[in-house]
Structure 1
Amino acid sequence: MNRGLFITFEGGDGSGKTTQAEILDTWLRERGETTLRSREPGGTEVGEQLREIVLHHRGEISPRAEALLYAADRAQHIDTRIRPALERGEIVLQDRYIDSSLAYQGAGRALGIDEVRSLSVWASSGLWPDLTILLDLDPDRARERLDQARTRFDRLEAEKNAFHARVRTVFLELAEAEPARFLVLDATLSIDELAAQIQARVTEALVGKHE
């Protein structure tokens, strides 16, 4: 059996990652593919408990502790859900992964990209996505979307604009450094336009999967 495909969705909060992952999931299933939808933090019973702590804990969490909580979530997630699904030949669609840690903890929290990368690679046993879809959106526009969509913000969404600007910069730098892995899209495009471009790129990846 061929190894599955590991596809991650990245970008700032409010960029439309979940919407596009849902559309792609439906599109793939309609074509007979077996998929697994997941997210970080979360995706496992342990992960959901860690998600509640890292995103909604009301007290202070030090930046290093935050990075370690994300790493613990990732280790559990990869070992118990993602690797087994890929070994079964499934297509994994995941909302956030290592690139988010590099952007949010490495740059946003100023812990250092290299340090967070080493921690993340260790936690995941070196598993990288086959394709990463980066939905790029200006932080001011993202805030407008979030303000319209919800009344409660998690710990990261509530950070100031300078934090989110650093996050966006690193996402774009990561994409520039690995153009073969990343598909960078303008998140201000319509939902249908974004979906069409994503499906075209995934179609190319599916050819390799089924060869």
Structure 2
Amino acid sequence: MLLVCQWVQVLNTLILSQLSKQSIIVNNGVYMFITFEGPDASGKTTIINKLVEYFHLQFPKLQYITTREPGGKHLVEAEKIRDLILDKNSILSPISEALLYTTSRRIHLERVIWPALKENKLVLCDRYVDSFYAYQGYARNLGIPYVKALTGLVIENTMPDITIFLKITPKQSKERMNSLRLIENHDRLDAETDLFRQKVYDGYLKIIEEEPERFIVIDASKEIGDVLDEIISKLMLHPRFLTWISENN
């Protein structure tokens, strides 16, 4: 694994040296990219939809897109990769899985995220690189240096301005999935063990600890209305978001 990681880092350096000649510059680095992370059934999709409703009312001129990973909703190529990753019949090594995620992410950036940011649209994304770090880096034991080096090949420093982490425990996640009967039609990742889910959760906490300024951590075990209110309250106190929204509405 060490040799693979070193190879990826060398390749990363070579590719970035070429990309620097035609770098992806998004509005001189001034944009608003918000990602939503959390365990399964933490309410990410619901919260994004409700936040959009709030923005419609409060900021009627605001331009935005919502999207998700893996895939990208309307991207045929990325969705095929998503289907392969989630297919219960897929047999993928951790490295094969990581490379598929990375390929899908590059397509997603090129076709959805970068064009939206260049048009100065607010981008709301359900999962992004932090899921990759938690699932592949920690739970799949590939290691953070490896997955960060791999990520560096494709994202060209496109990191979220704000990441909202909807915090529920692995036990709460499983209980919600059972209550929603999501287990009945589970995919390959839903079938993972409790130990795997705990590793993902612990991985998220380590990521947040290392970069606390980027994260808004929300207790997502509460009622959805309370969760939404807390997110809105914290967003409206966030200096970068306030500056951006005042200039783009």
Structure-2-length-normalised TM-score = 0.81
Deviation at 1:192, TM superposition (A): 1.0
The letter of the residue matching 1:208 is: T
User: Which runs of 4 or more aligned residues in structure 1 lie more than 2 Å from their structure 2 counterparts after TM superposition?
Assistant: 1-4, 201-206
Task: Please tell me whether residue 58 in structure 1 is matched to residue 89 in structure 2.
Answer: yes
Mark the runs of 5 or more structure 1 residues left unpaired by the alignment: none
Mark the runs of 5 or more structure 2 residues left unpaired by the alignment: 1-26
Contact kept, 8 Å, 1:10 with 1:17, in 2: the verdict is yes
Deviation at 1:109, TM superposition (A): 0.7
Identity of aligned residues (%): 37
1:26 to 24, 28, 53: 53
Residue aligning to 2:38: 11
1:144-163 alignment, distance < 5 Å: 144-149=175-180, 150=182, 151-163=184-196
Q: 1:33-54, CA deviations, whole angstroms, 9 ceiling, x for partnerless residues?
A: 1110000011122111111000
Name which one, 1 or 2, has greater alpha-carbon Rg.
Answer: 2
Equivalences, count: 211
* Cα distance in 2, alignment partners of residues 143 and 121 from structure 1: 32
- SS of structure 2 residue aligned to 1:36: strand
C-alpha root-mean-square deviation of aligned residues, in Å? 1.5
Contact kept, 8 Å, 1:29 with 1:35, in 2: the verdict is no
The letter of the residue matching 1:29 is: H
Residue aligning to 1:116: 147
- SS of structure 2 residue aligned to 1:8: strand
1:39 to 61, 65, 68: 68
1:57-136 alignment, distance < 5 Å: 57-136=88-167
Q: 1:22-75, CA deviations, whole angstroms, 9 ceiling, x for partnerless residues?
A: 111221122221110000011122111111000115131111000000000000
Residue aligning to 1:189: 222
Q: 1:82-108, CA deviations, whole angstroms, 9 ceiling, x for partnerless residues?
A: 011011111111010000000001111
Contact kept, 8 Å, 1:15 with 1:137, in 2: the verdict is yes
Residue aligning to 2:17: none
